[in-house]
Amino acid sequence: MTPFEKRGNEIRVLAKSLVWEFMHATSECHPGKEGMRLSQMFKKCGFDWGGYPKTTSGNQQYWVAAILWELKAEGKVERISESGPWRLV
């Protein structure tokens, strides 16, 4: 693993931890609550770099989507509906 891959992995671990902690600190993300949409979570976690040509804020959200799917695979979060919000299990 190169130093860049190692640092990238460390950043991914930190980003995943931030989303996990944010969901625990946010009541609407708690089990049985209404959950939170990806776009809101993305912005409230501070991942939005702003709008750039061909890299809109909407496009930047895919990174947080991957984090949520990772957490889902670990059995920690759920997506309430096909296009709906996310919450803790």
CB 33 within 8 A of CB 87: yes
Q: How confident is the model at residue 23 (pLDDT cuts 50, 70, 90)?
A: very high
Task: Write down all domains in the chain, each with its CATH number in brackets.
Answer: 3-88 (1.10.10)
**What DSSP string runs through 38-68?**
HHHHHHHTT-----BTTB-HHHHTHHHHHHH
DSSP state of 36: B
Other CB atoms within a 10 A radius of the CB of residue 40 amount to: 14
pTM of this prediction? Answer: 0.93
Each residue's pLDDT tens digit, 32-75: 999 999 999 999 999 999 989 999 999 999 999 999 999 999 99
